[in-house]
């Protein structure tokens, strides 16, 4: 890896398979970045533990995601691909950094409040501020079956360490992770100023600019997401994918020329803009404008154009899945490289904090 390149780091929790949202929102751009940056991509299996997954599934999912990264074009000759738990220095620095992190600032994090509500079985109407007190009381009073685990609270510390231990400059993440990145910058600044050091660079979000896209779901809702249950997966076979697209929500169709486009139909157009040729999109938009559109035809075309992208990836996934030796080699080598950098940063941090050997 070239030492003069800026360091880019991104992680993904090992839950489930990758979908078109991951592909167009992140993966496709990661592939383009490999040549220009010192890219380090990792699977956040420790973060996945915050929601207490089935132990038999945790690393099955790690394997899935690594396989899907590779199949989509992440090249281990160019980028470092590793598993978070293969770098124990992360866990050690996480303990150390927590000494400078406030419980209050963690409790005020939006993602924590959402997850705490879920763990306590509260409604997720994230509106009223006065209900912060109520959540806090419930967290403190919760019995052991409904506890909010401390790992959820310190999730942002762990994420900050992922980033800071690699001294990453750029972190390509979506909107939902911006607050975590803001905390990372705050923790870096705090550490640097407390110890009068410049150990940690302050990372910024890597903005894909025009390439940044929000991939909609097929159920008329906003975004494609694992928790929405509206995903088209890279691993979906032809039949499954066609079926999902054909079932996509639409509306009754335009009644008069140049009608406004409803959200579910706009979502289909947006997917089409990502996957189909411009003239194809234009034809269907014209057909919408003059009321001759047939949603069945649009969906058939959309399914074909999505499959043209996902099927070759699916084939590579199926091939790679059987090659444990290769995947093992990629992760061992990536892990070693990530550890080399992490160990160096940890050594510096300990020295700075006063954990110095006198014996």
Nearer to ligand TRP, 46 or 218 (CB): 46
Residue 63 token pair:
């394997």
Contact between 332 and 324 (Cβ < 8 Å): no
Of residues 68 and 162, the one with the C-beta less far from ligand TRP: 162
For 324, the token pair is 């444990």
* Per annotation, catalytic residue among 78, 226, 285, 350: 226
The least distance separating ligand TRP from the CB of residue 281, rounded to whole angstroms, comes to 30
Q: Is 255 a catalytic residue?
A: no
* Interatomic CA distance for residues 55 and 45, integer angstroms: 11
In whole angstroms, how close is the CB of 168 to ligand TRP at the nearest point? 8
Annotation marks residue 226 as catalytic: yes
Q: Which two tokens stand for residue 71?
A: 């199949």
Tokens 């909609």 map to which residue? 216
Residue ranges of alpha helices (H) inside 278-323 are 278-289, 295-321
Pick 9 or 271: Cβ nearer ligand TRP: 9
Give yes or no for a contact between 171 and 10, defined as CB atoms under 8 angstroms apart.
yes
Dihedral angle sign, alpha carbons of residues 53, 315, 82, 332: positive
Strand 80-83 relative to strand 170-171, pairing: unpaired
Closest CA to 151 of 48, 12, 9, 44: 48
Burial class from Cβ neighbours inside 10 Å (0-12, 13-18, 19+) for residue 285 reads middle
Backbone angles phi, psi at 229, to 5 degrees: 65, 30
Q: Looking at beta carbons, which residue is closest to ligand TRP?
A: 11
Under the rule (CB under 6 A), what is the footprint of ligand TRP?
9-13, 44, 47, 159, 162-163, 171, 173, 177, 180
Name which of 48 and 272 has its Cβ closer to ligand TRP.
Answer: 48
11/254 with CB nearer ligand TRP: 11
Local structure of 118: helix, strand or coil: helix
Q: Report the alpha-carbon distance of residue 50 to residue 317 in Å, rounded.
A: 28
User: By C-beta, is 11 or 216 nearer to ligand TRP?
Assistant: 11
Please report how close the Cβ of residue 37 comes to ligand TRP at its closest, in angstroms. Answer: 14
Question: Which contiguous run of DSSP H or E holds residue 178?
Answer: helix 178-194
97: tokens are: 């950094």
- Look at the block and give the residue holding tokens 């959402």: 114
CA distance 7 to 168: 5
Q: Are 257 and 288 in contact (CB under 8 A)?
A: no
Closer Cβ to ligand TRP, 72 or 281, answer by number? 72
Q: How far is the CB of 156 from ligand TRP (least distance, A)?
A: 9
- Closest contact distance (angstroms) between CB of 79 and ligand TRP is 14
Active-site annotation holder among 63, 78, 113, 115: 115
Cβ at position 196, least distance to ligand TRP in Å = 26
Running DSSP on this structure, what letter comes out for residue 171? E
State the nearest-atom distance from the C-beta of 83 to ligand TRP, in Å. 12
Q: Which residues participate in catalysis according to the annotation? A: 115, 223, 226
């Amino acid at each position: 890896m070239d030492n003069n390149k800026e360091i880019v780091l991104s992680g993904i929790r090992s839950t489930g398979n990758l979908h078109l949202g991951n592909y167009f929102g992140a993966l496709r751009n990661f592939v383009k970045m490999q040549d220009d940056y010192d890219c380090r991509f990792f699977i956040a299996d420790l973060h996945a533990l915050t929601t207490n997954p089935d132990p038999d599934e945790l690393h099955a999912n790690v394997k899935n995601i690594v396989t899907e990264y590779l199949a989509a074009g992440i090249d281990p000759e160019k980028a470092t691909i590793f598993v978070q738990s293969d770098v124990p220095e992360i866990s050690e620095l996480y303990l150390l950094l927590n000494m400078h992190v406030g419980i209050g600032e963690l409790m005020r994090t939006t993602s924590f409040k959402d997850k705490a509500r879920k763990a306590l079985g509260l409604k997720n109407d994230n509106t009223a501020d006065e209900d912060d007190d109520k959540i806090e009381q419930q967290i403190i009073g919760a019995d052991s079956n409904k506890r909010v685990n401390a790992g959820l609270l310190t999730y942002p510390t762990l994420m900050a360490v992922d980033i800071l231990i690699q001294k990453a400059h750029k972190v390509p993440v979506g909107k939902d992770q911006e607050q975590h990145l803001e905390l990372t910058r705050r923790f870096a600044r705090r550490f640097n100023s407390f110890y009068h050091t410049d150990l940690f660079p302050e990372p910024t979000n890597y903005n894909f600019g025009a390439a940044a896209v929000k991939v909609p779901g097929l159920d008329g809702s906003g975004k494609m997401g694992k928790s929405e249950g509206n995903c088209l997966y890279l691993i979906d076979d032809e039949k499954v994918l066609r079926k999902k697209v054909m079932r996509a929500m639409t509306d009754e169709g335009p009644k008069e020329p140049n009608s406004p486009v409803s959200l579910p139909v706009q979502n289909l157009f947006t997917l089409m803009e990502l996957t189909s040729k411009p003239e194809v999109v234009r034809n269907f938009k014209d057909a919408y404008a003059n009321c001759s559109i047939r949603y069945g035809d649009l969906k058939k075309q959309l399914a074909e154009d999505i499959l043209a992208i996902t099927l070759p990836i699916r084939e590579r996934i199926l091939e790679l899945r059987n090659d444990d030796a290769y995947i093992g080699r990629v992760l061992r080598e990536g892990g070693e490289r990530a550890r080399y950098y992490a160990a160096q940063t940890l050594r510096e941090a300990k020295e700075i904090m006063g954990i110095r050997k006198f014996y």
